[in-house]
């Protein structure tokens, strides 16, 4: 693998032990490395099917990444050149088309959705084995933390749903992976976003959308959704939960567009063509009333109140696939098509750091931890790398 800094941007898998809950859904129970081995010569397995002893020996021999050092320095434009991978999570999967990542609000848990499998890790525990895993019958569009105790996703229909063979919202416990709540939907979900106050935005097919109160598990209101001849790439909430945004690509003429809802004013979105072909990501600035719409090479910065474009810049060195901000908004990170990521200075557009293994395959997300001390990056094979700078940086 190769890591480098770029400046001056010109604007067999082992058999799994499972507990069946219902048709189409299974849960792998959490296991810890420090639990004793069973008597009579039995070997305890971890959630990925490895024996815990063998898994520990493998990882200790490969790298010393068994515990996340939460005293790491906050990543800034000054120390970004010192980024290095400090931990690797999970074991390789047979086939991964795309892996979505999400931290919980505390930053101590990380969730990965790879195809139809959800896995999550407790980062303050001395194991890189997932602490929990849920296998769905079909691939969900997205999976998000609600607080630290629940994972919300929109999944396929199963016979045991409240109304048979209907798509549904589902919430799982992070303690044991059990199904906590479910609710049928009128149409399959094409995009999800979670606000800081626990509201879920669900974009549905057929031009529908809704806001859902996860804690109360009830519908808040319906919204006019996106046109249904589009591909939804990403959804986001503003920090104050007033605005919601969706970035899409139109199937018929390869044109990206932004849908923006002012939830205090209207249920109808404002729609803005973006001037580039393929949508990659969307995110609200954490401290300013700004929004960034990301194409695979293009960046468009908009004022959410005035609804106008403030500036644009391009990066033709990377073909990116998502977008996330550091907590203070100084930095942006995007995953690239080379099993890596690029880190940008928001105000200048400069590439401060990039990592690549020269692969042409897609990987998945790159996201900041809530405290800004880590970047999690999907590595294309089901594993996740955690990147940080030294504490003294």
What distance in Å separates the CA atoms of residue 318 and residue 298, rounded to the nearest whole number?
10
What distance in Å separates the CA atoms of residue 273 and residue 171, rounded to the nearest whole number?
34
This prediction's pTM: 0.81
Model pLDDT, residue 163: 56
CA distances from 244 to 86, 119, 151 (A): 34, 27, 20
Model pLDDT, residue 98: 84
What distance in Å separates the CA atoms of residue 39 and residue 89, rounded to the nearest whole number?
29
Q: What's the fold here for domain 12-388?
A: Methylamine Dehydrogenase; Chain H (2.130.10)
Name the token pair of 257: 């567009």
Model pLDDT, residue 165: 63
What distance in Å separates the CA atoms of residue 64 and residue 85, rounded to the nearest whole number?
11
Model pLDDT, residue 229: 86
Model pLDDT, residue 283: 99
What distance in Å separates the CA atoms of residue 164 and residue 185, rounded to the nearest whole number?
11
- The full set of domain ranges for the chain reads 12-388
154: left (phi over 0), alpha (psi -120 to 50) or beta: beta
What distance in Å separates the CA atoms of residue 280 and residue 185, rounded to the nearest whole number?
26
**35 phi and psi, to 5 degrees?**
-80, 145
Model pLDDT, residue 13: 40
Model pLDDT, residue 339: 73
Model pLDDT, residue 54: 33
Q: Mean pLDDT by 10-residue block, N- to C-terminus, for the chain (393 residues)? A: 42 37 39 31 35 36 47 94 96 83 97 94 93 89 96 76 72 94 92 97 94 98 92 97 97 90 96 95 98 97 97 93 97 88 97 83 87 94 92 71
Name the token pair of 313: 């810049």
Model pLDDT, residue 279: 95
Model pLDDT, residue 134: 93
């Amino acid at each position: 693998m190769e890591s480098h800094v770029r400046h001056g941007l010109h604007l067999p898998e082992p058999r799994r032990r499972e507990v069946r809950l219902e048709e189409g859904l299974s849960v792998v129970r959490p296991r810890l490395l420090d639990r004793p081995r069973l008597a009579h010569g039995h070997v305890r397995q971890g959630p990925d099917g490895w024996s815990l002893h063998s898994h520990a020996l493998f990882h200790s021999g490969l790298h010393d990444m068994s515990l996340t050092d939460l005293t790491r320095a906050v990543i800034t434009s000054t120390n970004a050149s010192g980024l290095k991978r400090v931990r690797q999570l999970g074991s390789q999967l047979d086939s991964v088309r795309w892996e979505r990542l999400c931290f919980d609000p505390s930053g101590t848990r990380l969730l990965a959705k790879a195809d139809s499998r959800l896995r999550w890790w407790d980062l303050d525990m001395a194991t890189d084995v997932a602490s929990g895993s849920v296998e769905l019958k079909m691939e969900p569009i997205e999976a998000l933390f609600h607080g630290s105790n629940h994972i919300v996703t929109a999944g396929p229909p199963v016979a045991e749903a409240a109304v048979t063979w209907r798509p549904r919202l589902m919430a799982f416990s992070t303690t044991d992976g059990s199904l906590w709540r479910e609710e049928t939907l009128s149409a399959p979900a094409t995009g999800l976003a979670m606000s800081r106050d626990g509201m879920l935005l669900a974009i549905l097919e057929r031009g529908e959308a809704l806001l859902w109160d996860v804690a109360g598990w009830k519908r808040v209101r319906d919204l006019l959704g996106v046109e249904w001849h589009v591909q939804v790439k990403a959804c986001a909430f503003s920090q104050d939960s007033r605005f919601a945004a969706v970035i899409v690509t139109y199937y018929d003429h390869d044109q990206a567009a932004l849908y923006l809802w002012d939830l205090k004013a209207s249920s109808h979105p404002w729609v803005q063509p973006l001037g580039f072909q393929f949508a990659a990501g969307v995110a609200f600035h954490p401290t300013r009333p700004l929004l960034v719409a990301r194409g695979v090479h293009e960046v468009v910065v908009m004022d959410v109140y005035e609804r106008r474009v403030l500036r644009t810049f391009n990066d033709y060195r990377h073909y990116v696939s998502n977008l996330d901000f550091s907590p203070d908004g100084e930095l942006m990170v995007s995953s690239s098509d080379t099993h890596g990521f690029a880190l940008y200075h928001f105000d200048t557009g400069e590439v401060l750091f990039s990592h690549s293994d020269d692969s042409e395959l897609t990987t998945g997300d790159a996201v900041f931890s809530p405290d800004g001390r880590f970047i999690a990056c999907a590595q294309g094979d089901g594993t996740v790398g955690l990147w940080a700078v030294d504490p003294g940086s």
